[in-house]
Each structure stands twice: as structure tokens, then as C-alpha cells.
Structure 1
Amino acid sequence: MIKYLPLFLVSAAAVGMETALTRYFAVASWSDYGYWVISIVMVGFAFSGVFLALAREFLVKRAAGLFAILPAVLVASGALGYFAAIINPFNPLQLQNPATYLPQLANIGLYYVALLPFFFGAGLFISLSFVTNAQSIGRVYAADLTGAGVGAVLVLGLMFLVPPFELVPVLLPALALAAWFVGKYRVRAGVAALVVLAGAELLLALGPQAAVSPYKPVYPPLHTPGAKVLAQVERPQGEYLLLDDFTERVNDDISNDAAMLGYADPPRSYGLYRDGIRIASLPRPGGVASGYAPGALDALPYALVARPDVLLVGASGGFRIAEVLALGAAHVTALEPEPVLYRALKHGLGGSPAYPADAQVSIEDMPPRAAVAGAAEAGARKFDVIDISADFMDAAPANVYAVSAEGFAADLGALRPGGVLSVPVSIEDFPAYALRMLASVKAALALRGVADPQAHVVVYRSAWNARILVSNTPFNAGEISALLKWCNDRSFDVSYYQGIDVTAARDNLYNDLPAVSFNDDTVTSFGADDSIADEAGDVLAGQPSVSARAFDLRPVTDDRPAFYAILRLGKLSLLLARVQILPQAEIGALVNLAVLAQAGVIALLVLLVPLAAPRQAGGARVALARSVIYFPALALGFLFLEIFGIERASAFLDDRAAGFSLVLSAMLIFSGLGSFISGRFSARPARAVLGTALVVLVWAGAAMMLSPGALAGSDLAFGLKAVLVVGAMAPVSLAMGLPFPLGLEQEEQKFYLAWAWGLNGAFSVVATPLANLMLRNIGLHAVLGGAIVMYGIAALSFPACERERKFGSV
């Protein structure tokens, strides 16, 4: 197996580089643009397969020399590509401006020019390994997949130790090491690779250094005079910076009349940023001041429920705990599943003190679904108030499951009769987000058997944020009266309660909230307006609303968990014309569309390669026709199931980075093992592929049945959850390692080996954005269903030719 070690190392480094570059874009720019990296990787692999198919004879004759020189070339192209990415003047804000986006499209093209050579070279090394070892396809594919899986695990470990901008230099030595195992030229190849590695490391160490984009929220406070970085934490979830400067204050929505009412201003704080985006305030030494609490938007539930037992979802660095206690809570159970925030609460961080021990306070790191699991059982603990902090949903990707319809339904089941669930939503970008949250609340009440949700919901707001209060019993007249007085005293506006007179309420607004016309990019207002009040009643009643024509207001669910997904992508021309007003959180969908369009063109070009090279392709029309279907179906099916697994594992682990790495590593390593044993099925390959399709079908059925309970069990020890994730992915991944090498073994012309590799790369580019868009707009069940269909198509189109006739048909 030593002959496959260079392939193993190149595959590990390629996946490591892909992950490292994705992290680079997440920190230096925005995580949405990490989709470019996936596109560049797979385009490079696709082009390498096409190049090898068209120039096979020339390249195979020189294979030994190419294997010797490619590691050094990869070191050089990896370093130069990363260097070029660092100095690229890409401006994401100008990309969202129709008047300035053209130069930024050119800069995106420069990213491709810079990074494509590395992945083309890596793909050429891998595909050439297939062609020159056609008699051992299963072993070659096993080395490729297991190398990639180990690379994914390696980078996950490095993220605990190495800043994101230093990952690429750390990975380059693996490529230089590969040169020492490439056959008769290994000594010269190894020395050349070491020389190139030394130059590459010097270039990256002494040249311009990667930095956070000046367009990210962390940039201004980081460059404020006197600003200090008090702590820096490296984790797979991101790079965390704790900042101290005079601009950092508690990020809470306070009444404009707070000073007049005698409430203190929010105190100075430290700011905790992850990948350049602020996720929480942390207290300065001296304790957590809470004199501003009675004037905060989120204080209303404590005026409606006396001495409540509170489940606080998100501690906001400890400030929300102090607020809730100051507002009269009898006991607070604070949930903080974000690991660095939890560490700060329990042990302090960078000079910010830990939250002091208090008999009235329990701090847990479990996710909210685990905290309320089993609340309907006899004797289970119930709460008077379940309060979701305003910064909780954006503090970690998996936190979005707290605001799904199923999540709200579980919360309502954990309330005592007359208890209150308090749900925040930002209306700074689009008031329509509040309407979508209302739709999720309505769906949750339906799950709890409430036929008429309107009496169970009230909505109030400031100019920038809204709060939705939900009760498992109807709000009574006394509670509505208390609500109106409390909001009036603090100059907040009430947008909905059952029986509200919207016209009369508009005459006494404190905070104007006009409707934004998405059709003509204008803000229209005829006097004071409250666009949430105009439509909240219709949403809760299940009636069509004005905003539903422009936005997708369907409820967020566990199956379709993307909250920031209200844009209707069918109106693409309108979206592009209004791109400058789109929230950053919505841009990912447009990036996916762009990558998908590009991927479709590339996939078509790769499909047409045999027409451009009829001599190399030969006349095996049956093989050609089946290959056109078989290998794309495998690429789509594998990626669809991978993305489904990542999404479900991320929710179960409550950790996006761990979910991604564990699922990716498990699938690659166990698929590699499946490829390694694929030779045992050579006598009946079509049966093995059919068996794989059946395994995928059975696994998918089990996954759909077990998914609803996964979030409730997410309070298990992390190590046990990780083992369960790997154990769940292992059997289906083992089976999915069989079809690709078995299909390649049927391709008797080596042209098809390289072309099949190109097809796999090209349709992997298609699969990733397509699956993400399906998840966003249809749901996870559609992504998993797509995997089932693709493997079924693969089984029906298995490209058996001479080998099939030799062993007999099935």
C-alpha cells in the first residue's frame, strides 16, 4: 500500500486546503463566499479529468515524471494562489451595488485564476493515479477517499491550535512529503519539493498578511484609538476576539425615555466577536450592572408574570441573567450552548469575570430543545417564562432550531398554564422577518392543538426590534391592559393583540415603521405607519397578506430551518435590481445561484467532451450513454446525502463545525473502506450497486423517522454524540464506496476513466449549491429524497459492458 501513500497525502492536503480557504473567506470576508471555494475545487477536478481524457496517451507516457514533479508544483501553486487571494482587492459591499459590481466580478474571476491551478494539479495527480492503476481501481479510490477523510480530521484538529490565516502554510508540508514516495525519482522530487516549500513558506511569512475585511463589524472597533484585544480563541467554530474600547456597550434595545424614567444607561462592556461578527457583550471587571433592565424591550414578560421561574435561552454574556433577576425572577436557568460563551460565563475570559455563583441561577450548556424535552411528562419541571435572548439565534448556526415551529411547540409544552414564551426578531432589515416568525408561532400553536392562535399572541416593538409573546392560554383583558400601559410608559408600540384597532393605534405611534416596497425600492408612508400591525392579524388567521406576494413567509421548521430565507428566488431579476438593500444573511442564496449557473455550464461542457474527442472515446455507445447518466447520478447522490447528514448532525451536536467535519470524515473514510473491498463484488457488480441503492433507501427511511427525536437527545455527552454520528454514517458510507470503483472497472477504454473522474467533479459542483437551495426552499426531506432517486438512477444505468457479459447478467 506504500505506493498509494502519495495519493493519500495529496488527497488529504487538497481537502485540507479546501477547508482552510473556506475558513479564510469566512474571516477575511463573509462565510457565504466560501461557496466559491467548493466551486473552484470541483471545477479544478473536473478540468483535470477532461484534460487527462483528451491527452491521455501523452500524459500516461510521462506519468512517472509527472508524479515526481506535481507535489512541488502543488506546493508552489498553493502558496501563490493563497498569496494572490490575500492581495485581491475584493469589496463585498460594491458587489451589492449595481453601479459598482462589475469590477468586483473581475475580482471574483481573479480568485478563480489564483486558486484553480492548485486544485487542477491535485485533480490531475488523483485522476492520473486512476488511469495508471486501472487494475486496482478499488485500492486507488480507497486511498483517495481515506486521505481526504484524514485531511478533514487533521484540519479540524488544527483549528484548535492555528489561526485561520495560518492554516494554508501549515498544510503545505504534506504535499512536499508526498514527493518522497513517488517512485524512482523520489529523492530528486523530494529535494525539489523541499526547496519549493522553503520558498513558499518565506513568501507567505514575509509577504502581505491576510487581514479581516474593513467591511466587517469587527473592523471599526478593532481600529479605534486605544482598542485592545483582550483574548483570542481558536476553535473550529471560528476565530474569537474579545475587544475593549470605548464604543463597546451592552447591546440591548432600550426605551428612548429611559433617562426620563430614571433608568440607567447600558454599561460599557467588552465585545466578543466570532469571525469578525459581534455575538455578545461580556462584562468588565466589577460585576454586571443591570439598572437599565426595566427600560429594555425584553422586560415586558416580567411585568405580566410575578416572580417567575425562568428558562433563559442565551445568557448574552451574563447580562441577561442579571437583567431577569433585577426584574423579579425567582429562579433563572440560563442556557448557553455556544462553547466560548459558556466558558466565559463559567470561568471568565480575557479579564471578563465569570458570572458569580448564585443560588437563584443555574447555567447549563445544553441546547434549548434538550432542556424542554420531556416537559409534558408527569412531574417534569415547568417554567413560567421562557425568554429567548435577542442575540441567541445569531450566536451559533445550530441555534436556529430554537425558532422553528417544532422548537416553539416544545417550549409551549414546557410552560405552566398562563406562562409566556418571549420571542425576539430584528426588523431593522425587513419587517417581514417578524411576519415569518409569526407564521412559525402560528404553526407551533397548531402543533399544540390550539385552533385559534390569535388570542394567544401579542406583538410589540421599538423602531428596530420586535418581541412576540406567546402563551399556552389566551391573554386576558387585564394582561392586555397591562401590556398597553407598559409599552406606552416606555414609548414602545403594540403591533398586535386580538381585537386591536390598527387604524386607531396608528394615530399614537412612537416609532414609525413604514412598509418597504420591494418592487420599486422605495419606502412608502402616508403619515405614521406600522407595517407589522397591518399584516399580523392576516398571518395569524392564515389569510393572504401583502408581504407574502414579495416574500416567502412560510414557517421555519426542523425540515426547512433557514430563517433568513424570505426572498423569492423566482424573482431573480428583481432581486438583482434591488441587491443593494438585501440583508447580508440573504446573500448566500444568490451566491448559490451563481455557483449553480456556472456549474451547469461546466457540467454540460464536460458531458460533451466525447464529442470533441471521438477518436479517444471510441465507439462504445452503450458505455458512453450509461456513463453520462451513471457517474453524474453518483456525484449528485453522494453530495445530497452528505449535506443532509451534515445538517442533521450539526443540529444533534449543536455545533456546525463538528457536524461538518465528523460527517465529511466518516463518509470519506468509510466510503474509502467500501472502495477497498469493492473487488469482492466484481463478479456481480450491478447487484452491488443495486444493493447500495437499497441501503441508501433503508438508511434514509430510518433517518427521517429518528430525526424528530435527535434534537431532544442533544444533551448527551459530546463524545457519545460524536460516536453516534459516526456510527450512523458508517454503514451507508461503506455501501456508497462501492458504485464508483465498480463503475470504473467496467470502463475498458482508459479515456472513460479520466472522463468519469471529470464527470464526478463537474456534477459535485452542481450538487452542493443545488442541495443548499433545495434545503432552503423545499426542505431536508427533498435533499434526502434526491439522494434516493440518484442512487436508484445509478443502479438502473450501471455501465456494464464486457465485464458484465463475462460474468453473466443479473
Structure 2
Amino acid sequence: MVSSSATSLSFVLFVAAMDGKEKQSQGVGLFAGVGLISLSILMLQVCLTRLFSVALWHHFAFMVVSIAFLGYGASGTFLMMVPRINNLSLRPTLAWLALAFSMATLAAYWGSNIIPFDPARIIWDRYQWVYLLGYYGVLAIPFFFAGLSLSLVYTRKADAVNRLYACDLVGAGLGCVTIFSMYAFAGAAGAVLAVCLTAAFASLAFSANGWKVNLVRGAWMVVLCTLIITKPEFLTLNISPYKALNIALRYPDARTLETRWHPAARLDVIESKAVRFAPGLSLEFQGSLPEQMGLCLDGGHLNAVTRFNGNMDDIAFTAFLPASLPYALGEPDNVLIMEPMGGLDILTARYHGAKNIVTTHGNPLVLHVMQTVLKDFSGKLYQTHVTPVGEQARSFLLRTSKHFDVIQLPLTDSLGAISSGLYGLSEDYTLTVEAFKAYINALTPEGLLAVTRYLLPPPRYEIRLVALACAALEAMGIEHPERHIGAIRSWGAFTLVVKRNPFESRDIERIKDFCRRLHFDLVHYPNMSRAEANQYNRFPGPLYHDMIQKVLNAADRDTFYKAYMFDVRPVTDNRPFFYHNFRMDKVVPLFRAVGNKWQLFLEGGYLVHLIFLQSLVISLVLITLPLKKTGRPASSWFLAYFGLIGLGFMLVEICLIQRFILFLARPVYAFSVVLFSVLVASGLGSYYSKYRSNRPRCLILVPVLIVAYAFALGRLLMVAMGWPLWLRSGLAFVAILPLGFMLGMFFPMGIRTLSLVFERGIPWAWAVNGCASVVGSVFAVVVALAYGFRSVLCLAALAYSLALVALSQMMRYRPRE
């Protein structure tokens, strides 16, 4: 809470410093209040993003942006329908609205916590769609009050819109940075309370006069402080009963030992009999597994920490795992393991005699807990024979000149989470063609890349893994990729190995001996016959072998991709959705193939289209409602203009966040740095727009800039991938600054122009802008899933081009100055 108060104070000082000539007419409080409201809004959006990731699933987090702008759109529509609000005294009204926003935030958090919406039940429980609407409605209320205050300010103070919008954007930029400091010591509920407190400060900035508002505000701030200190039970986050954490805790005598919050994740350490982690363990193993504790990320990613005291006999079971295949092919000394979580693959490498083990960690919380809380239980796993690196593997590989005998992408999640299909919208830059190229290039000549995943019929992820390897090898100029690829499966896991040099006969014999000894099934090796497949863990036919042969055969590949019911084509950094297999053109055949059941359609890629339609319908209702009150305006160009810039801005913002996830190594850094950069740069552009209001020709550069970013930004960032994080963050700000600056000029220019031709339509423009942003936030995901982020940016360029046409038409009706 100290951080929130300090940010509020620093923002007030910033506004006072920039207030200048207009200080007498507007007052510091108005600008500071706008900035603090926006700071609170962005903090709340980030809060809800984390809460959705934990309580529901990661991919539902994008709904937060939709909910926020839905509230914004509703506020503009309300102001058009009830114009008498414009007659109220401005500053006291804003103070009450900010206070209402503060109170509604806590009420919405509590309300959403008790609504029984659960995406895991959405297929068979028809009431879940009603609960989803309830989620939207309850969580949109605080954004409604916040949006109403901003809409009212822009309507009543259109002459100062450039400075007001600048304060709005800069405040939002500070909010996306401030909120991250809350989680480490306050957790989810504490972060929500910090939002409420900041909104109460905004109310105070708008107006400190009036005994009624002061009485209510003072009592409310006392309540908030009490809740912060006491942390009552009703504020505890309610997590879906179908997530791995709650499933594990339902076992007898299960308990949570520790819970940690970090901006990147929530981590729970648990004791439960459900924690038994040895993916694909051979049925030939007759011993018992050592004691294991659970590590659960965001309530859903369940992994295990194995008790280890240095006795290698205790971890002999690791030799019976499919993931131990690379150690059966040689005696590697230098091993790189990506995101090993609880460290099972480290134990496997230790058991097989690896001398130098490097591990990469995108999530610092896991590494910290393993080196402190679980240090003794794990036998100081990360302090002995292991060099942990606190960044993602791809950026590490660009920085290091070291080559490895084995690079492993281990299986670190629970079967239930993967099989649910709820990772369909999760981007994964470790499983793209460019990533595989980086891994293979970092191998020694006889080195192996090993990837293990759960075996999940119908075949999807396993086939795409082979497609990735094949595409990467071909991109490196290798004519016969099938000679570099081997694959096996057990009853429950699939392991792919890719060798930098072609497999030799001795390698093939070792693979065959490994499978024969442990009763694993051969899936592919160079020149393997069909009769050798499907020997132990039998399907009706050798379907995995047959499909992989079609992928590896260039003549059959495209035909197979087009005919198969799932999308198993290799994914790239432009479209990094490895777990998304949705094909719109195959919905009906797939439905029939699975016996007319919808369970398989739970995958996020299917649901996002329904959510898009839902948001589109709601937005159209909110946009058209004012027609009943005002009738059709003489010109509708302003509606098109504000809709297009809302859509375009959201498309650009989401794409930039995705582009920088890989560059900044962690999603949480990309989110904070990109949002801060875009919003602050746009705020500067907004402030400057006053001096260009009669000469908007410079905005013609915006579509050109967006297209340039679409095709050149990735190459620019790759050059600097090996730089230190602080330098990369600085480059991110510099790279985003020109585009963000230009984007920030559109909204205030539009408001200024509209105030001269149709001033009472400003709330309507605000509603259209908010609703277009709702649609844009989901539309960006829909397009990216199908065509990639480059296509999304091209659509954003088109939206801004059309907006320029609409602006020119609006300016034709403007009185000459």
C-alpha cells in the first residue's frame, strides 16, 4: 500500500509541474484526479488478469480488457441517455464517481468470487453462459463508474482534452508498473484493496470539499485500512474446483504448506497423495517412488519435487522414464534443461552421470522456493552440479557461446491441465520453428534435442512436435530431416529426439534396445518399418507412426495437413500457439467423429469465437441505444472515427505485448514495459496534439509505421536479444516511443474537432471508442490464432488509414478558426 500512496503522490507532483498556464482555469486537482483514476483502472485490470489466471485459466485473462472497455462503453451510452448529469457541478460529481468506483471495485471482486462460473463446465452446464454474463456485468460496474468520470471530464473540458488525455495515459502507464510491487507482500486481495485506496485518493484530488463526501470517504478509507490489516476470509480467492490445486487438496490429509505471490505467478507448495509425478514411467519398473511434494503454479500447473538425499539408488526410477532416452544414446557431459520446475529431469541427468547441468528459469519464484523453502527436501538440487540461469532459454542461448550434448524440454505439467485443452490460447515461444532452430544450433555435432509431452489421443501435439522439428531442420538447409529425427512412446508419454548429425546405425540400435528393455513403442527412426510400431501399448493401428511418416514425407505433407481434422502445422514466432489445434472448417466432421459430443470443444480456441460474438452483440446494443434518445446525427463520421481508433489501438497494443514477450524473457516484464511505454508515449503525443490540431497530416505516417513494425520489429529485436535485461527494457521503450507518440494524438484531435461540430456527441464517441476496444481485444486473439500477429498489425494499419479518412470528413464540418 506504501507503493500505491507513493505513486499517487508522485503523480500529483508531476501534474503540478506540467500544469503551467492553465493552472488557474482548471486546477491541479482535476488533472491529478484524472491521472489517479486511470492509474487505478490499470491497476485493477492487471489485478483481474492475475486473478483470472489463478481462479480460472490463463487464457481467460484477455477477457479483462473486454470487461474494462465494456464498462467504458456503457458509461458513454449512459451519459448520452441521461444528459442531465452534465448539468451537475463537475468537481463534486467526479469525487462521488471516484468514490463509487472505489467501492464498486471491492464489491465486484467479492461478487465475482461467489459467482459459480467455471470454464471447465461450460460444455455440459448451460447455466455457465448465464454466469459468464454475470461475470461480465459484475466486473464491468467499477469500470462503468471510472469511465463515467472520464467521459464527463472530456465532455465538459473538451478545450483541455490534450492535457487531460495525457494525464489519463501517463497515469495508466504508472499503474501497470505500480501494481506489480503489490503482489510480493499483499497477494491478490491486498492488491485489490490497493486499487480501492488509490481510487479514494482520486476522489480526494477531485474535491476535498463537502462534509457528506468527506464523511463517506473517510469512513471508507478506514474500512479499507482495516481490511488490509485483518485480511478477512471472505476476500480469499475462490479457485475453480477443476484446477489441479483443488483436485490435489481434496485427497485425505492433503494440505498447503506455503503460498507465494509474484507478478508472474502464484506458487503453492502442497502435500498430497495426488502428487505422483513420473510421466510415462515404464511398467517394467517394480519399485516405489520416493516421497514427493507438489509445486502448483497459478492453481493449475502441478509439478513435483522429489525427496533426494544424494543416494542414487533412490532415484533409479528415472532410468525407466521415456525422457531418459537421450542418456541411452550416449554419455553427455553438458546438459541444458529448460524450466525444470521441481527438478525431475535434473535428477535424471544426475543419475546418468551428467557433469555440467545448466537450467533456465523464466519464473523467478520457482527457483527462489527451490533454493530456500525446499532446499533440504530436494537435497540442495539447484546448488549442486547445477548452474541456474534466471531467464528463458532462447535469450540465454543467444548470449552464450557454449554448446550442449543434450538440450531437454521436459514435461513439467499435470496430465489434467494439458488434456483439458485449456491451453489453446496460451502462447509458447519455446515451441516454435525459430525456437527449434536455436536449440539445434546450440547442440554439439553429436548432440540431441529431447522433448517429452503427454500422449493424448487423438494425435495433435505429438504430430506438431515432429512437424516443428522437420520445419526447423529444413529451414537450416537439411535435405533429409527424417534422418535426424527419432520418436518413441510409452503408455502415457511421447518423446521426440532430434540429432544435429544424422542418426547412425549404432544410435538406432540403442533406441531399439531402450524400447525393447522398457516395453516402449517405437514411433520413428530412419528407415523404420511399419511392422515395428505399435508393439506394446497398442492402438487399433500404428496411427502415430503413419501420421509422422506423412509429415516427414514432403510429397504427402500438405495433403495430410489439409485433410486432418486438427491443425498440426508447425507454428512460428508470428503465430506461437502450439496448443491451438482448432480448425473452423472441420468443426462439423470433428463433432461427428467424437460421437456428437462437445467435450473436446472446451479448447480455448473454440470458445474465443463465442466470446467474440457475445462482445460484438453487447457492443452493438450499447452503440445504438443513443439513437433512441438523440436520433440519427447529421454526420456519422465521428462514430466511425472513434470506433476505428479504438479498434486499431487495441490491435496494436496486444500485438506489441506479444512481440516483446520473447524479447524481454518473461510475459510479466513484456506486459509492464510495453504498456508503460505505449501509454506514456501516447500521453506525450496527446499533450503535443494541441499544437497540431489544424495540421493532422503527420498522422498519415501512422499506418506506414505500423506496417514497418509488423515486418521489421522482430528482426530488430533479435539483434539485441543477448543484451542485459535493463538494456533490452530501455530499447523496448525507445522502439515503442515513435508509434506510441503518434497514436496518442488521434483521440484528443477527434474530441477537439467533435466539440466544434457536435459537442453533445462526445459521450457517444467515448462509448463507441470503448466498445470498439472491447471487440478489438477479442478480435486480435481470433485473427492471431488463425493468421498470426503480423496480420493483426496489418489490420491495425488499415483501421488507422480508414480513421484518417473519417477525420478528414469530420474536419470538413468544423468552423474555420
Q: TM-score, normalised by structure 1?
A: 0.88
Aligned to 1:56: 83
Structure 1 146/187 Cα, relative in aligned 2: closer, same or farther at 3 Å?
Answer: farther
Residue 299 (structure 2) pairs with residue 272 (structure 1):
no
Deviates more, 1:549-558 or 1:139-148: 139-148
Residues of 2 paired with 1:330 and 1:40: CA distance? 51
Aligned to 2:100: 73
Residues of 2 paired with 1:10 and 1:606: CA distance? 23
Residue 621 (structure 2) pairs with residue 605 (structure 1):
yes
Give the 5 Å matches for 1:794-805.
794-799=803-808, 801=810
Give the 5 Å matches for 1:193-272.
193-198=217-222, 205=232, 207=234, 209-259=236-286, 264-272=287-295
Residue 150 (structure 2) pairs with residue 126 (structure 1):
yes
Q: 3-state DSSP class of the match of 2:186?
A: coil
Please say if residues 101 and 142 of structure 2, whose CA atoms lie closer than 8 Å, have aligned partners that are also in contact.
yes
Which amino acid in 2 is paired with 1:436? Answer: R
Deviation at 1:807, TM superposition (A): 5.9
Coordinate RMSD, CA, aligned: 3.0
Q: 2:495 aligns with which of 464, 467, 473?
A: 467
Aligned to 2:536: 510
Q: 3-state DSSP class of the match of 1:797?
A: helix
Structure 1 329/694 Cα, relative in aligned 2: closer, same or farther at 3 Å?
Answer: same
Aligned to 1:536: 548
Aligned to 1:667: 678
Equivalent residue pairs, number: 770
Residue 389 (structure 2) pairs with residue 382 (structure 1):
no
Residues of 1 paired with 2:607 and 2:225: CA distance? 32
Which amino acid in 1 is paired with 2:660? Answer: A
Please say if residues 431 and 532 of structure 1, whose CA atoms lie closer than 8 Å, have aligned partners that are also in contact.
yes
Deviation at 1:720, TM superposition (A): 2.7
Deviates more, 1:636-645 or 1:700-709: 700-709
Residues of 1 paired with 2:50 and 2:666: CA distance? 16
Deviation at 1:364, TM superposition (A): 2.4
Residue 713 (structure 2) pairs with residue 703 (structure 1):
yes
Residues of 2 paired with 1:80 and 1:341: CA distance? 32
Structure 1 576/594 Cα, relative in aligned 2: closer, same or farther at 3 Å?
Answer: farther
Please say if residues 464 and 568 of structure 2, whose CA atoms lie closer than 8 Å, have aligned partners that are also in contact.
yes
Deviation at 1:768, TM superposition (A): 1.0
Please say if residues 312 and 389 of structure 1, whose CA atoms lie closer than 8 Å, have aligned partners that are also in contact.
yes
Residues of 1 paired with 2:260 and 2:624: CA distance? 49
Residues of 2 paired with 1:248 and 1:362: CA distance? 26
Which amino acid in 1 is paired with 2:141? Answer: P
Which amino acid in 1 is paired with 2:462? Answer: A
Please say if residues 265 and 291 of structure 1, whose CA atoms lie closer than 8 Å, have aligned partners that are also in contact.
no
Aligned to 1:82: 109
CA-to-partner distance for each residue in 1:8-66, whole Å, 9 max, x for gaps?
Answer: 22222222222222222222222333333322221111111122123334534454553
Aligned to 1:736: 743
Structure 1 153/372 Cα, relative in aligned 2: closer, same or farther at 3 Å?
Answer: closer
Please say if residues 92 and 206 of structure 2, whose CA atoms lie closer than 8 Å, have aligned partners that are also in contact.
no
Aligned to 1:178: 202
Give the 5 Å matches for 1:623-638.
624=636, 626-638=637-649
Q: 1:501 aligns with which of 517, 529, 532?
A: 529
Structure 1 58/271 Cα, relative in aligned 2: closer, same or farther at 3 Å?
Answer: closer
Q: Which 4+ stretches in 1 moved above 6 angstroms?
A: 200-204, 392-399, 574-579
Deviates more, 1:269-278 or 1:17-26: 17-26
Structure 1 316/512 Cα, relative in aligned 2: closer, same or farther at 3 Å?
Answer: farther
Structure 1 339/399 Cα, relative in aligned 2: closer, same or farther at 3 Å?
Answer: farther
Q: 3-state DSSP class of the match of 1:582?
A: helix
Aligned to 1:567: 582
Deviation at 1:350, TM superposition (A): 7.2
Residues of 2 paired with 1:772 and 1:461: CA distance? 33
Deviates more, 1:397-406 or 1:555-564: 397-406
Residues of 1 paired with 2:42 and 2:129: CA distance? 26
Residue 611 (structure 2) pairs with residue 595 (structure 1):
yes
Give the 5 Å matches for 1:200-599.
205=232, 207=234, 209-259=236-286, 264-284=287-307, 286-287=309-310, 289-347=314-372, 349=374, 352-353=377-378, 355=380, 361-373=386-398, 380-391=401-412, 400-428=428-456, 430-503=458-531, 505-506=533-534, 509-513=535-539, 528-542=540-554, 543=556, 544-545=559-560, 548-572=563-587, 580-582=598-600, 586-587=603-604, 589-599=605-615
Which amino acid in 1 is paired with 2:503? Answer: F
Residue 167 (structure 2) pairs with residue 167 (structure 1):
no
Please say if residues 208 and 214 of structure 2, whose CA atoms lie closer than 8 Å, have aligned partners that are also in contact.
no
Deviation at 1:737, TM superposition (A): 0.7
Residues of 2 paired with 1:332 and 1:296: CA distance? 19
Deviation at 1:392, TM superposition (A): 8.0
Aligned to 2:15: none
Percent of aligned pairs sharing the same letter: 26
Residues of 2 paired with 1:167 and 1:576: CA distance? 43
Please say if residues 308 and 379 of structure 2, whose CA atoms lie closer than 8 Å, have aligned partners that are also in contact.
no
Deviates more, 1:731-740 or 1:390-399: 390-399
Deviates more, 1:492-501 or 1:183-192: 183-192
Q: 3-state DSSP class of the match of 1:646?
A: helix
Deviation at 1:696, TM superposition (A): 3.5
Q: 3-state DSSP class of the match of 1:386?
A: strand
Deviates more, 1:467-476 or 1:764-773: 467-476
Aligned to 2:13: none
Residues of 2 paired with 1:349 and 1:207: CA distance? 30
CA-to-partner distance for each residue in 1:732-770, whole Å, 9 max, x for gaps?
Answer: 212211111011111122222111111110110111111
Please say if residues 48 and 121 of structure 1, whose CA atoms lie closer than 8 Å, have aligned partners that are also in contact.
yes
Deviation at 1:703, TM superposition (A): 0.9
Please say if residues 290 and 319 of structure 1, whose CA atoms lie closer than 8 Å, have aligned partners that are also in contact.
no
CA-to-partner distance for each residue in 1:301-349, whole Å, 9 max, x for gaps?
Answer: 1121234432222334333223113223343333333312333454554
Which amino acid in 1 is paired with 2:599? Answer: I
Structure 1 92/352 Cα, relative in aligned 2: closer, same or farther at 3 Å?
Answer: same
CA-to-partner distance for each residue in 1:68-97, whole Å, 9 max, x for gaps?
Answer: 321232233222222221211224332122
Residues of 1 paired with 2:331 and 2:95: CA distance? 75
User: Any gaps of 5 or more consecutive residues in structure 2?
Assistant: 1-27
Residues of 2 paired with 1:178 and 1:32: CA distance? 32
Deviation at 1:206, TM superposition (A): 6.2
